Amino acid sequence: MGLLDGRVAVITGASKGIGRALAVRFGKEGARVICTARSADLVKQTVALVQKAGGQAIDVVGDLAKEADVQRMVAAGVQAFGKIDTLVNNAGDGGPTKKVEEYTMEDWRYTIDSCLTSSYLCIRFVVPEMRKAGNGAIVNISSMAGRRGLPYRIGYCSSKAGQVGMTYGMALELAPDIRVNCVAPGAVEGDRIDSVIEGQARVRGISVEQVRKSMTDSAPLKRFVTADDIVDATVFFCSDMSRSVSGQVLAVNAGTPAG
C-alpha cells in the first residue's frame, strides 16, 4: 500500500525539478496525478515517468495565472479520475535578480502571477471539487525567501511571503474538511539555484563560488537540500500521517532559522 492510495492530486509546475519529482513520487505512493505546466513536451515527459514508475497520470498544459486554463485543468482532472482531493501549488518562476530601482512593472506582474496568482486560482477552482469529495489537502510550496527575504529578488520574496499568508488564511477558512499547509524550501540543489547564484554574483560583483559558499556556510547542515527532501515533506502533509496538521509552514532548509 502507498501513503497516498486513493488520492487524486494536482501537481502544478510538473514539467521539471521539484514538480517532476513530486509527480513521480505521488504516483509511486498510489495517487492518480494531474500534471500541469506550460511546457507541453516537458509535462508529457513527466507523465511518462509517472507511468513508468507504475502510477497513473495525465498532462494538462496551461498558464495557471489564467482563470480559463485553471478551470480547464480542473475539468480535465475530474473527467479523467472522477474527483480531485489533493493540490500541490508548486508552479512559479523565480523572476529576475535586479536592484529594486531597476525592477520593472513587467518583472513584478510576471513573478507575482506565476507564483502567487496561480496558487490563488488553483485553490479557488479546486476547493469546490474537494468539498464534493468530502475532504482535501492543499500544500503550497513557498520558499525561505518568503520568510527571511533575499536581496535583489523583491518580486519572488513578495510572492512567496504571499503563499505563506495564504496558507494561514485558507487553513482557517477551509477547515475542518480541507487541510492547508506549506513547505518552505531553502536552497534546493539544481538548475534553478545555479541561476539564482549566477544572478546574485552578477549584481553583487563577486564570484559564483563566493555566493555558493556563503549560502552553504550559512546553513547549519552546511549543504543545500534536494528535491526529494521537499517531496518527503509534501507527501507527509498530503497523507493521513498529518491528518491533525493544518495551517503549518515547514522549513526544509538544512537547519537555517526560519526568521
Q: Which residues are marked as active site?
A: 156
Rounded to whole angstroms, what are the CA distances from 240 to 9, 21, 133? 14, 20, 16
What is the rounded distance in angstroms from the CA atom of residue 43 to the CA atom of residue 36? 7
Nearest to 247 by CA among 185, 176, 187: 176
Q: What is the DSSP string of the chain?
A: --TTTT-EEEEESTTSHHHHHHHHHHHHTT-EEEEEES-HHHHHHHHHHHHHTT-EEEEEE--TTSHHHHHHHHHHHHHHHS---EEEE----------GGG--HHHHHHHHIIIIIHHHHHHHHHHHHHHHHT-EEEEEE--GGGTT--TT-HHHHHHHHHHHHHHHHHHHHHTTTEEEEEEEE--BTTHHHHHHHHHHHHHHTS-HHHHHHHHHHTSTT-S-B-HHHHHHHHHHHHSGGGTT--S-EEEESTT----
Query: Cα(223)–Cα(200) distance, rounded to whole angstroms?
Result: 18
Residue type, 125: F
